[in-house]
Amino acid sequence: MAVSYKDLGLSNTREMFQKAMEGKYAVPAYNFNNLEQLQAIVDGCGESGSPVILQVSSGARMYADQTLLQYLGEGAVKMARRKGYKNPIALHLDHGDTLELVKSCIDSGFSSVMFDGSHHSYEENVRLTKEVVEYAHKFDVTVEGELGVLAGVEDDVVAEHSSYTQPEEVEDFVKKTGVDSLAISIGTSHGAFKFKPAQCTMSADGILVPPSLRFDILEECEKRIPGFPIVLHGASSVLPEYVKIINENGGALEAAVGIPAEQLRKAAGSAVCKINIDSDGRLVFTAMIRKVFANTPAEFDPRKYLGPARDELKKAIIEKNKTVLGSAGRY
Ligand code: G3H
Ligand code: 13P
Ligand code: ZN
């Protein structure tokens, strides 16, 4: 039986983005796969008074189970209200790639979906995204589209020449598809290795400093679709303190580089209304679990290593909402 997100107490992203645009901040979209990540996100955003987008990739949906996810979404809202949090909560499909998947998510209570047609030709991206919007809007579910392919360390040649979003396409795309927000490519990428060391300079204290995001492209896009919510994927900072803990406790993350916080702050103050964060959450979790195992090798109660990971993730989320996204204290 299909269920509406409205009956689960979830919100779509329309009003969230409108307020973020007016208040010059960005709504955090934190990816999760499991209970402890979800607890950290709901508590971190609830306690810091930030709107939140609970973000689920198709892989995460398979991992967590689609039926269970519906109840996790509903449970997240119920827990938040019981604790007195007043923030709006959206449940969002990240990088949806078929209409079938989008429909299935909407029917099981998602309030927002992304259709990522960025790997198709422009015409095909428009056609498929429009189909998704037509379906989603019947249920008042908001839709994020994408133009431009995110740069990847392995495909920097493509990224250099043709993968940034072309500002001259955005107005036409938004008009033709009817999307509610648009993800653009300005130099971010997914994962913990966003730049090759050769692309970076070395700071005095030995930290790799990546090249700047293409704020010129962002500004060009903003000019063409004024007041329209823009989304930044691949926006983890790859927090060095957690990479360090991982490496000091048996891990091997060499040359992990993310997007510097100052650049994300600058983006959040622009038309960027949604910032996607997955890798930083994974790093925090892994760091704390490695630390517990290194310090107490005889530990085998999952609560004793997942608990500290959850608590640290909550702290990191509060810090990000306050100091990077500017979304704290809004509700
Ligand atoms: O954008 C991708 C997200 O980081 C989700 O990653 O497909 O491994 O769950 P995943
Ligand atoms: P990161 O890998 O930088 O966390 O990006 C996550 C993302 O864009 C999810 O869609
Ligand atoms: Zn993404």
pLDDT grade for 162, boundaries at 50, 70 and 90 = low
> How many angstroms separate the alpha carbon of residue 59 from the centre of ligand 3?
12
Cite the DSSP H helix spans in 235-295.
240-248, 261-268, 279-295
Tens digit of pLDDT for each residue in 303-320?
Answer: 999 999 999 999 999 999
Q: Pick 72 or 1 by higher pLDDT.
A: 72
Q: How far is the CA of 184 from the centre of ligand 1 (A)?
A: 17
pLDDT reading at 161 higher than 60: no
Please check whether residue 88 is in contact with residue 62, taking contact to mean a CB–CB distance below 8 angstroms: no
Choosing from 43, 94, 180, 278, the catalytic residue is 94
Q: Output DSSP code: residue 155.
A: G
- Residue 95 CA, closest ligand 1 atom number: 1
pLDDT in tens, 204-225: 887 889 999 999 999 999 999 9
pLDDT the model gives residue 156: 46
Report the candidate in 225, 146, 238, 128 with the shortest Cα–Cα distance to residue 185: 146
Active site residue 216: no
Q: What is the C-alpha to C-alpha distance for residues 294 and 232, in angstroms, rounded to an integer? A: 35
pLDDT tens by residue, 40-98: 999 999 999 999 999 999 999 999 999 999 999 999 999 999 999 999 999 999 999 99
Cβ count within 10 A of residue 197: 13
pLDDT digits 0-9 by tens, 5-15? 999 999 999 99
pLDDT at residue 239, rounded to an integer: 96
Distance in angstroms (rounded) separating the CA atoms of residues 257 and 261: 12
What does the alpha-carbon distance between residue 89 and residue 142 come to, in Å, rounded to a whole number?
Answer: 13
Does 155 have pLDDT greater than 60?
no
* Nearest ligand to the C-alpha atom of residue 146: 3
pLDDT of residue 265: 98
Would you state the pLDDT for residue 1? 86
Q: pLDDT tens, 103-116?
A: 999 999 999 999 99
173 C-alpha to ligand 2 centroid (Å):
23
Which atom of ligand 2 is nearest the CA belonging to 277? 4
Does pLDDT of 261 surpass 90? yes
- Give the 3-state secondary structure of residue 10: coil
Q: Enumerate residues with CB within 5 Å of ligand 3 (an ion).
A: 233
Please state whether the predicted TM-score (pTM) of the whole model is above 0.75. yes
- Measuring from atom 5 of ligand 2, which residue has the nearest CA? 234
Which ligand is nearest to the Cα of residue 235, counting in written order? Answer: 2
Going along the chain from its start, the domains and CATH numbers come out as: 5-325 (3.20.20.70)
User: What per-residue confidence (pLDDT) applies to 119?
Assistant: 92
Cα separation, 302 vs 144, whole angstroms = 36
